[in-house]
Amino acid sequence: MSKNIVVAGGGAFGTALAIVMSADEIANVTLLMRDETNAAQMQSLRINQSRLPDVKVPDALSITSDLSCVETADILLSVVPTGAQLSFADQIKPHLDAKTPFVICSKGFDKKSGGLMSNSVRNLLTQHDVAVLSGPGFASDIAKGLPTAMTLAAHDLASAQELSNALSRQTFRLYGSDDLTGVQTGGALKNVLAIASGVVMGAGLGESARASVIARGLAELSRYILFMGGRAETASGLSGLGDLVLTATSAQSRNYRFGIELGKGALPEDLVGPDKPLVEGANAAIAASELSKRENITLPITNSVADIIQGRLDVAQAIQQLLARPLRHEQE
């Protein structure tokens, strides 16, 4: 029997997931968009003009703004921004069958608590399995059918594997994990480190400096995953190192581009806002930095990014502060 898959979120990544889910026509796929006008336009033109204008939407993909479509969903992929995950979960709660897994597909911490988004969603959707999709995958690559591998984490490995099998396609491969904590932490913190890498390049410090940021950033990511209760090996997997390398080196990454502009001297407040690209790493930096200071976790790169974003340091001061840190054993 074909699965009914609902992808909620009409941005680039949500559109890409909906396209790849419907490409092999082995599932009934619906893209749920917030705006009725945009949904009707996309249904008619078969392209997402504002987000993925160069990729045709398959005829098999249904597009709607009607929330009732989630009532028949076997799997719900929630690709709304991190800051909107809880309000969306609350909105669809009356419509969602208790057996339907809720798969979080955005990367970031709960802004209010600083904790894992899966915990916050589970507190709201108490009867539902909550899973997380994360890893190195740009929307345009996924939508065009280019080979992509990501991680699907759930509360146990059997559930993760079942969802991975249901959602994997010929060019879109999902690897199961039961480390919900590690996968989410890696996915959120790598955005912060991508900003740092962009700052280095925007400031003209060179490729060698960026490589150092990536390597030392991976050490921070590993340290934070362990503190949050995840497993060390997750840091070296797709949702850790894989995603970090992708987003810290490619101009397709919004977080990396944001960092480049900061490195060139742009003010943080001029780069964020309703009409600007969403930069999940900005909020993640602040959340992780505040927690690290309370709990005495060593996250110098993350703290520097948070200080720049909050206007406590300019880029030159942050770089000088990092360069002035005492030399230690590499594994510390």
pLDDT tens, 93-109? 999 999 999 999 999 99
pLDDT of residue 325: 83
pLDDT above 70 for 332: no
Residue 331 pLDDT grade (very low, low, confident, very high; cuts 50, 70, 90):
low
CB-CB contact of 27 with 3 (8 Å): yes
Instruction: Single out the residue of 14, 61, 57 nearest to residue 35, CA to CA.
Output: 14
CB-CB contact of 258 with 280 (8 Å): no
Tens digit of pLDDT for each residue in 287-308?
Answer: 999 999 999 999 999 999 999 9
User: From residue 138, how far is each of 34, 285, 319 by CA, in Å?
Assistant: 22, 21, 29
Tens digit of pLDDT for each residue in 207-240?
Answer: 999 999 999 999 999 999 999 999 999 999 999 9
pLDDT of residue 23: 85
- For the segment 303-320, the average pLDDT, to the nearest whole number, is 95
Residue 272 pLDDT grade (very low, low, confident, very high; cuts 50, 70, 90):
confident
Domain with CATH 3.40.50.720 in the chain: 3-178
Which pTM does this prediction carry?
Answer: 0.94
pLDDT of residue 72: 96
Among 190, 264, 276, 293, the one annotated catalytic: 190
String of DSSP letters for 143-181: HTT--EEEEEE-SSHHHHHHHHHHH--SSEEEEEES-HH
pLDDT above 70 for 22: yes
296, amino acid identity: N
Q: Is 190 a catalytic residue?
A: yes
Residue 1 pLDDT grade (very low, low, confident, very high; cuts 50, 70, 90):
low
pLDDT cut 90: percent of the chain above it: 90
CB-CB contact of 160 with 185 (8 Å): no
pLDDT of residue 276: 74
Strands 148-153 and 130-134: antiparallel
- For the segment 174-197, the average pLDDT, to the nearest whole number, is 97
- 303, 279, 140, 90: CA torsion to nearest 10: 110
String of DSSP letters for 14-64: HHHHHHHHHHTSSEEEEEE-S-HHHHHHHHHHSSBTTTBTTSPPPTT-EEE
pLDDT of residue 324: 84
Residue 327 pLDDT grade (very low, low, confident, very high; cuts 50, 70, 90):
confident
- For the segment 241-245, the average pLDDT, to the nearest whole number, is 97
Integer Cα distance of 320 and 332 in angstroms: 20
- For the segment 24-44, the average pLDDT, to the nearest whole number, is 94
pLDDT of residue 121: 97
- Environment class of residue 228 by beta-carbon count within 10 Å: exposed (0-12), middle (13-18) or buried (19+)? buried
Number of H helices, E strands in the chain: 13, 8
Interaxial angle between packed helices 85-92 and 117-124, expressed in degrees from 0 to 180 and rounded to the nearest 10: 20
Burial 236-271 (b: 16+ CB within 10 A, else e): ebbbbbbbbbbbbbeeebbbbbbbbbbbeeeeeeeb
pLDDT of residue 197: 97
- For the segment 195-214, the average pLDDT, to the nearest whole number, is 96
Fold for the domain defined by 187-323: N-(1-d-carboxylethyl)-l-norvaline Dehydrogenase; domain 2 (1.10.1040)
Domain with CATH 1.10.1040.10 in the chain: 187-323
Average pLDDT, the chain: 94
Domain spanning 3-178, CATH architecture: 3-Layer(aba) Sandwich (3.40)
pLDDT cut 70: percent of the chain above it: 98
- For the segment 127-150, the average pLDDT, to the nearest whole number, is 97
Integer Cα distance of 33 and 22 in angstroms: 16
